[in-house]
Structure 1
Amino acid sequence: MNAISPILEFNPELLVYLAIDVIIAILLLSTMRYVMGITGKVNTTQELSRRDNFAYGISMAGSVLAMGIVLTGAITGESANNYLNEVIGMSAYGLVGLLLIKAGRWVHDKFSLNQFHKSQLILERNKAVAITDAASAIATAIIVRAVLIWVEGFDFDTFIAIFVGWLISQFILVLVSWIRERRFNRSNVAGFQQALVQGNVALAVRYSGHLIGTAIAVTAASHFIIYDPQYLVTGLLSWLAISLVMMILLKVLATIAKRIVLMNIPREIEIEQQHNVGVAAIEFAINISIALVLSALMA
């Protein structure tokens, strides 16, 4: 009995901190639905229930999952020295995360997929566009989470680091989007963005794998760089350099893996012309898997 008693010991104060974090997390997750409704001027109840708009549901699911990912970065840090500071810190990081997710979507719409009106197409039940929208939010959240875990303290330098880390993430994700679009356009009459407008779900799934996989891979930078406010610029530039290296490494290794796993299967034809979601899902899984392996190895 004495042997197991230490396991049963707990700190009541710790339970209060956990309760604070869980309550704030649930409130912020719930907020995503209303934020989407207000900013998009949409009745979310009507879209999700009465119209059964699956595309809108996919887009909102991406926002909710992205918010959850960001919140894990806020929770992973050490608890504050009192309950009020915990409430302030958790709420502040959560709200900053929410704003960065929304800002990341804006960047994706303006610089990556800027040839169509995303919100209108989602309301018109375009699942391909909804999938890419959700993926961009999730990819942004993954990198923001890594930055939240990387930084220390709760001051002006901390938020500068978070913001610049977000900027780096957007540069990397836009670069990935441009590369994917240019490659697609070289071998197809209809452009990449036009194919999404036409509802190529397979293409959207593969593209999402590239975005999310890249986001996972570039978070490895946080394992190499020590956060120091005195050398913040150097640290963030190093983060960018390592991110670019990881992006290239992921591309090379994932390409090798795809050629082995999907040997004798004309992947481009299956996904781009025949809209084969099954093959696209395998490519998605390969990108994510290689990214996870790289991130684990670098840790």
Structure 2
Amino acid sequence: MNTFFEITALNQDLLIYLVIDISIAIVLLGAMRFISGLSAKVNSTQELAQKDNFAFGISVAGSVAALGIVLTGAISGENAPSYWMEFIGMFAYGTLGLILIKIGRVIHDKLSLQHLNKTQEILNENITIGIVDAAGAIATAIIIRAVLLWVHGLDVDTFIAIIAGFIISQAILLMVTRLKERQYAKNNQGDCLQEAFARGQTALAIRYAGQLISTALAVTAASHFLTYSPETLLNNLVSWFVFAIVMTLLVALLTAIAKRIVLWGINLVEEVDQQQNIGVACVEMATSISIALILTALMA
């Protein structure tokens, strides 16, 4: 009988922690939709329900999914010593994740895709840009989640590590975008990838989404080899950056090989770049993400 009461008390304790985490998560996910509207200086309800702006919906969906990914990193692990500390920790990590996702979007706009006005393109119902925007948010969130799982505690060093991991993620995603731009220009007589996005070439956006997300998954593999320690934080972050570059190149190489096998006999440049074959682009995206998932699982 004593054991029964102990188990019941334990379950009640876990239930309270669950209610705290889920409540904060739902509030933050709801806030993300309205923040997306505020950042675009529009009414999100009008864009989604009255104007039926699919591009805006895809962009918001990417932001909400990204925040959900980040929150899984905040929830995972041991519960805090008290309910109040659990509330503070969950709210702090969730809010920081929301802010970083939005900052990542600005960086993606100003540095990675500097020739595009993504906000205006999305308001003009450019679905291609909506996909690109959502992919950037999700890729950023995947890396932030990995850093949240890597660190522990709730202090200044923890937040420094999270922000540094975010900066690393943006540097890697910028590098990948530049490489893909060069590759696209080489295969298409000097055409600009960003201009192709602006023209609404959805197949290219789907492929690009797969490349960003697979890169983010590759970057997270470093967390399995480095032990978090505030005393060696700088060395760990440098190592993470170097390891991330190596993993990104490895995933790119293995993905290129896998695509040749999975899409044997299909000219990818002709089908995706020129004919805008969305089906082939989806297979490319799935192959890229699958290879990254398999490789990171093996590293774990």
User: Given the two structures, how large is their TM-score scaled by the length of structure 2?
Assistant: 0.96
Instruction: Give the Cα separation in 2 of the matches to 1:67 and 1:116.
Output: 24
Runs of at least 4 residues off by over 4 Å = none
Instruction: Give the Cα separation in 2 of the matches to 1:128 and 1:35.
Output: 21
Unaligned runs of 5+ in 2: none
- Residue equivalent to 1:37: 37
Shift of 1:188: 1.7
Instruction: Give the Cα separation in 2 of the matches to 1:293 and 1:124.
Output: 38
Q: Deviations over 1:150-197 (max 9, x none)?
A: 001110000000000000000000000000011101222431111000
User: Given the two structures, how large is their TM-score scaled by the length of structure 1?
Assistant: 0.96
Asked if the contact 2:187–2:269 (Cα under 8 Å) also holds between the matched residues in 1, the reply is: no
1:192 matched to 2:169? The reply is no
1:156 matched to 2:163? The reply is no
2:26 is aligned with what amino acid? Answer: I
- Residue equivalent to 2:97: 97
1:295 is aligned with what amino acid? Answer: T
Q: Deviations over 1:137-162 (max 9, x none)?
A: 00000000000000011100000000
After TM superposition, list the pairs within 5 Å mapping 1:96-245 onto structure 2: 96-189=96-189, 190-245=191-246
Shift of 1:212: 0.2
Aligned residue for 2:227, secondary structure, equals coil
Instruction: Give the Cα separation in 2 of the matches to 1:210 and 1:292.
Output: 12
2:182 is aligned with what amino acid? Answer: R
Aligned residue for 1:152, secondary structure, equals coil
Aligned residue for 2:98, secondary structure, equals helix
1:11 matched to 2:11? The reply is yes
1:247 matched to 2:252? The reply is no
Instruction: Give the Cα separation in 1 of the matches to 2:59 and 2:11.
Output: 40
- Residue equivalent to 1:63: 63
Instruction: Give the Cα separation in 1 of the matches to 2:137 and 2:48.
Output: 19
Shift of 1:11: 2.2
Instruction: Give the Cα separation in 1 of the matches to 2:57 and 2:73.
Output: 25
Unaligned runs of 5+ in 1: none
1:250 is aligned with what amino acid? Answer: V
Q: What's the Cα RMSD here?
A: 1.3
Instruction: Give the Cα separation in 2 of the matches to 1:18 and 1:211.
Output: 32
Instruction: Give the Cα separation in 2 of the matches to 1:150 and 1:131.
Output: 29
Shift of 1:115: 0.6
2:179 is aligned with what amino acid? Answer: I
* Count of residues paired in the alignment: 295
